Amino acid sequence: MKPAVYLDFNATAPIRDEAVEAVMGAFRTGGNASSVHGFGRAARRLLEDGREQVAALVGVSGDDVIFTGGGTEANNLALLGCGCPNVIVSAVEHPSVLAVSTGHAPVPVDGDGVIDLAAFEARLAEENGPAVVSVMLANNETGVLQPVGRVSEIAKRYGALVHCDAVQAAGKIAVDMRALGVDMLSLAAHKIGGPQGIGALILSTDLPLSPQIRGGGQERRRRAGTENIAGAAGFGAAASAARAGLANFAKLSGMRDQLEEAVLSVAADAKVFGQKMARLPNTSCFAVPNLPSDTQVMALDMEGVAVSSGSACSSGKVEASHVLAAMGEHELGISTIRVSLGWTSGSGDVDRFVEAWRKAYLRNRKQAGAPELVAS
Amino acid sequence: MMPYSSVADEVAQAPQNRPVYLDYQATTPTDPRVLDAMLPYFTEQFGNPHSRNHSAGWQAEEAVEKARSQVASLIGADPREIVFTSGATEAGNLALKGAAYFHRGRKNHKDHIVTCVTEHKCIIETVAQLEREGFRATFVPVGKGGLIDPQAVADAITERTLIVSVMAANHEIGVLQPLSEIGRICRESDVLFHTDAAQATGKIPLDVGSMALDLVSLSAHKVYGPMGIGALYVRRRPRVRIAPLFSGGGQERGMRSGTLPTPLCVGFGVAAEIAACEMEQEAVRLRRLRDRFLSAVQSHVPNVRINGDMENRLPGNLNLSFVGVEGEGLMARLSDIALSSGSACTSAALEPSYVLHAIGVEDELAHNSIRFGFGRFTTDDEVDFAARRISEELLKSCG
């Protein structure tokens, strides 16, 4: 059953109608893209069309796109495959990037979650041998944008390669890979309304990337395995739709700001993370002291409102988010929820959220023996 | 919303105007029942199966777990022994590199791999990479029929052997390797046993218990499921330990990070369940179709050579060499039949097949060979049509 109000687009987005149509069309076509007969050629066309559409989303050409099984694989392929023994990452990266980082601790971020460029440059200066830098474009939990262009400039001065995890940013804000100056960029289809199970690593230059999955030599020998045709077609359709919908997506910030205003009017002690920063238009991450994340999320779920208490991969664990910890929010980390809107969200969804959240908040205040608030 | 059910119906009916599809070893059409099962998970029941705190996530997780059970049942495994991957190639890489890397760095670690010359590229290339990284490998040859001699495997095993990897069914000639015998040998020698079952998934009975399998690579799109999903079976008792290929969110019990594609898992699960249920009768039907095709061709054309053992073979596979007739040219003239001269992954390459080379087929004859794959949606009419067309073209070529 679809929840009445789905506000967890940063975890996974509902697939777009265009993508479903493309996926089903590809299943109907059949064929292995590596076969030379008509079925194979038809599959190849779908694959290559999808590749071009995905490329267009970030302003490159299809030749630069390597399809993978998802964003996690793309991040791993970039950092393990580029052949640089030194991997420098920020402290707020996705676990799939953090896990690959080597040597020193990640580069710290400030209280808003933005990378400390001075510390970053100092780290680069210390490295011996080829280094690769990985900094995400938008954080999955707070939506805060990183100065990736600046990161690239600095990295280039030290001859380092730059990888950017754009999984959360793509389709939500305009992404121009060349303007960012990065060498590698990761995308995931299901975050932009495409199907789960496909992602891409995009190369801006002809990097000699060493494949992490070996076999039949598909994807120009960068990633073996029978190509996921329906996935590529769906990813492509979603990329085109997302690109066309960027202007509308930007308007979600209005709704998001209303939501935050309402939360702050109910709970004056609430803290919205990165509120003053450049961030994704759809993401709100906030905390209320002594109101545990799980209490909020469960109460909202009972009311048919789906949000998240952090990134989905770690939401099975009770530990606080590493992103908030890196921002110095150790106390509030366990009381934080993330609301992420999308192209199907309407103002009614925000109203439903606010109503359900207010109820949960007031009930908790009452149980905690706090003085009644005057309901506005 | 589009009328998807009618879309699904079209697939089953194999439209008359389309070429006849006889390339079931390259990929299989998605079964309409699989499409039907997946569709709601693409549209209505989306959710990240790893989102633990709302019902959309729980429902996705439940669907994934059901699929895991369905896949497990197909090979007599416990659901907790199934790790979903993006396909059999990733599974094969995970099995071999996973086992190798897990043991590397341990005291006196075993560093020898035994495999077979006719394995799929995903195994051969992975083993080659491991060799470059300091592991050693023995590639055991096969006999004329393409079968490996279990004794040759036993002879190749040394004290240093970590893992044996022998495929269940060959992708070009369809021959079935003696897994039970090899499994017994591996168990006795305390060596891990992996089989690449990409071609065998749902086509022949596989049982991880009686075959003493420790690791099994499975593919969905070769068994009428979707592309983009496969699985690795990893034995729990005694526990087989592998290192992951990727790091990240720690999904799949740490063995394979990344958001699981719920619809594809569901599709694989249903495909596995259908295969488990229909395998036996389907095998009978496919053998009959294959034999009907073969005798029709043989009755018209002299000098047809069968590549690979006919007894131990996938029911839907045939691989023939036509003496004096170049395979690629013949296929080009048969544009109304979708065929392959070998495995799809390498069909762009013009080198003769290494599999046929390994079974002693001379290079010239290897160039004259074609793989025929029959499957669930192949009809008697299609087989008769294909046999007639091929005979016509061959008779023309032979003058």
Identify all chain B residues contacting A300, using CB atoms and an 8 Å cutoff. 54
B6 touches chain A (CB under 8 A): no
Please tell me which residue, B397 or A236, carries the higher pLDDT value. A236
The predicted structure's pLDDT at residue A78: 97
Contact assignment for B339 to A227 by CB distance below 8 Å: no
Q: Strand A271-272 vs strand A283-287: parallel, antiparallel, or unpaired?
A: antiparallel
B345 annotated active-site: yes
The predicted structure's pLDDT at residue B324: 86
Contact assignment for B51 to A8 by CB distance below 8 Å: yes
Please tell me which residue, B128 or A220, carries the higher pLDDT value. B128
CB A376 within 8 A of CB A265: yes
Give me the residues paired with residue B233 across strands: B82, B216
**pLDDT at residue A205 greater than cutoff 90:** no
Identify all chain B residues contacting A11, using CB atoms and an 8 Å cutoff. 48, 50-51, 57
Using one digit for the tens of pLDDT, what is the confidence trace for B186-210?
A: 999 999 999 999 999 999 999 999 9
Measured CA to CA in angstroms, residue A159 lies from A85, A127, A128, B359, B381 at distances of 14, 11, 11, 51, 64
- Among A3, A27, A298, the residue with its CB nearest the CB of B35 is A27
- Give the torsion sign (CA, A321, A325, A328, A331): positive
For the domain spanning B20-31+279-397, the CATH number is 3.90.1150.10
Using one digit for the tens of pLDDT, what is the confidence trace for A18-54?
A: 999 999 999 998 899 989 899 999 999 999 999 999 9
Identify all chain A residues contacting B4, using CB atoms and an 8 Å cutoff. 24
For testing contact with chain A, the best of B96, B227, B339 (most A CBs within 10 A):
B227
Using one digit for the tens of pLDDT, what is the confidence trace for B142-175?
A: 999 999 999 999 999 999 999 999 999 999 999 9
pTM over 0.95? The answer is no
The predicted structure's pLDDT at residue B349: 55
Q: Measured between alpha carbons, how far is A132 from A100 in angstroms, rounded to an integer?
A: 11
Q: By percentage, how much of chain A surpasses pLDDT 90?
A: 82
* CATH number assigned to the domain with residue range B34-273, chosen from the 4 options 3.40.50.150, 3.30.300.30, 3.40.50.720, 3.40.640.10: 3.40.640.10
Q: By percentage, how much of chain B surpasses pLDDT 70?
A: 90
The domain segmentation of chain B, as residue ranges, is 20-31+279-397, 34-273
CB B242 within 8 A of CB B94: yes
- Count of A–B CB contacts within 8 Å? 275
Joined tokens for residue A374: 């005057």
**pLDDT at residue B126 greater than cutoff 80:** yes
Using one digit for the tens of pLDDT, what is the confidence trace for B290-342?
A: 999 999 999 999 889 999 999 999 999 999 999 888 888 888 899 899 998 86
- All structural domains of chain A, each given as residue ranges with its CATH number in brackets, are 5-12+248-367 (3.90.1150.10), 17-244 (3.40.640.10)
Using one digit for the tens of pLDDT, what is the confidence trace for B1-26?
A: 333 333 334 333 334 568 999 999 99
CB B140 within 8 A of CB B117: yes
Angle at B329 between CA B371 and CA B118, to 5 degrees: 35
Entry field: residues in chain A = 376
Helix (H, G, I), strand (E, B) or coil at B383: helix
Query: Who's near A275: CB < 8 A, 6+ residues apart?
Result: A260
For testing contact with chain B, the best of A87, A210, A226 (most B CBs within 10 A):
A226
Burial of A75 (0-12, 13-18, 19+ CB in 10 A): buried
B55 touches chain A (CB under 8 A): yes
Identify all chain A residues contacting B11, using CB atoms and an 8 Å cutoff. 27-28, 30
Contact assignment for A95 to B122 by CB distance below 8 Å: no
Query: ipTM of this model?
Result: 0.90
Cis status of the peptide bond prior to B19, with omega within 30 of 0: no
